[in-house]
Chains A and B, each alone.
Chain A
Amino acid sequence: DTGVSQDPRHKITKRGQNVTFRCDPISEHNRLYWYRQTLGQGPEFLTYFQNEAQLEKSRLLSDRFSAERPKGSFSTLEIQRTEQGDSAMYLCASSRDWTGGGEQYFGPGTRLTVT
Chain B
Amino acid sequence: QVHIVQSGAEVKKPGASVNVSCRASGYALTKYAMHWVRQAPGQRPEWMGWINPDNGKTYYSQTFRDRITISRDTSAATAYMELTSLRSEDTAVYYCARETNWGYWSFDLWGRGTLVSVSS
A binds B: no
B residues with CB within 8 A of A: none
